[in-house]
Amino acid sequence: MTKQEKVRFVINTLYKLYPEIPIPLDHKDPYTLLIAVLMSAQSTDVRVNKITPLLFERADNPYDMVKLTVEEIREIIKPVGLSPMKSKGIHGLSQILIDKYNGEVPQTYEALEALPAVGHKTAAVVLSQAFGIPAFPVDTHIHRLMYRWNLTNGKNVVQTEKDAKRLFPEELWNDLHLQIIWYGRQYSPARGWDLDKDIITKTIGRQTVLDDYYKKHK
């Protein structure tokens, strides 16, 4: 297969498997999505979705959030991990949104990445999922699968994002990054991987990945 044939195979397979694409993190608006994505760093969506209702019951907008102390936020979100950093980030960015943006979440990478505890991936998720702006956030699933599929060299997430944006049509980015995440969780996990169920990797995968898999599962 040529690289373009591989890309078409990925797109077609993912759209057959996931014609409707659920958003992994529960939210109701750009602000609650921003907070949920920030909380998901080095945690799981399942854990975050259990904790955000408790936080949003107290404060689901920046004006109410700054009424809480950093310690109060930290106590609520402690189960998701990294709570000292995340609680300071949530309180700090909420104050900035009030001071600079009338309580609204900005819609540019530059403005989002200037907020406390908001990195490039978090900004990309918010732009894509909250505002429909084309973005290709790369998480561990996408980074792993793009390497397995021989669509990137796997050196780092920055390169993986560049390769994804170069290979896939821009109008599909917002759907595809979510479809790849769901596919990675369901069919191509880091652990407990069954290649027979992973039709994309089995069809177009990097030979060294396939060889390594078969060596481990002789």
User: Are 127 and 141 in the same domain?
Assistant: no
Q: Give 168-189 pLDDT, tens digit per residue.
A: 999 999 999 999 999 999 999 9
User: Are 16 and 70 in the same domain?
Assistant: no
Residue type at position 208: T
User: Are 83 and 168 in the same domain?
Assistant: no
Per-residue pLDDT, 86: 98
Q: Give 55-113 pLDDT, tens digit per residue.
A: 999 999 999 999 999 999 999 999 999 999 999 999 999 999 999 999 999 999 999 99
User: Are 115 and 48 in the same domain?
Assistant: yes
Last residue of a domain, one of 79, 105, 131: 131
Contacts (Cβ under 8 Å, ≥6 apart) of 163: 146, 151, 152, 153
Above 80 in pLDDT, residue 164?
yes
Sequence-ordered alpha helix ranges (H) in the chain:
3-17, 30-39, 45-58, 62-65, 70-77, 83-101, 109-113, 120-131, 140-148, 157-167, 173-187, 199-204, 207-216
Can you give the residue range of the structural domain that contains 45? 30-131
Per-residue pLDDT, 217: 87
User: Are 159 and 125 in the same domain?
Assistant: no
Above 80 in pLDDT, residue 218?
no
User: Are 46 and 81 in the same domain?
Assistant: yes
User: Are 147 and 84 in the same domain?
Assistant: no
User: Are 119 and 141 in the same domain?
Assistant: no
Pull the structure tokens for residue 58: 């107290």
Q: How many domains does the chain have?
A: 2
The per-residue pLDDT of the chain, averaged, comes to 96
Q: Which residues are catalytic?
A: 121, 139
CATH of the domain at 80: 1.10.340.30
Give the residue-averaged pLDDT of 137-166.
95
Per-residue pLDDT, 15: 97
Last residue of a domain, one of 131, 162, 196: 131
Per-residue pLDDT, 154: 81
Last residue of a domain, one of 113, 131, 149: 131
Per-residue pLDDT, 97: 98
User: Are 208 and 155 in the same domain?
Assistant: yes
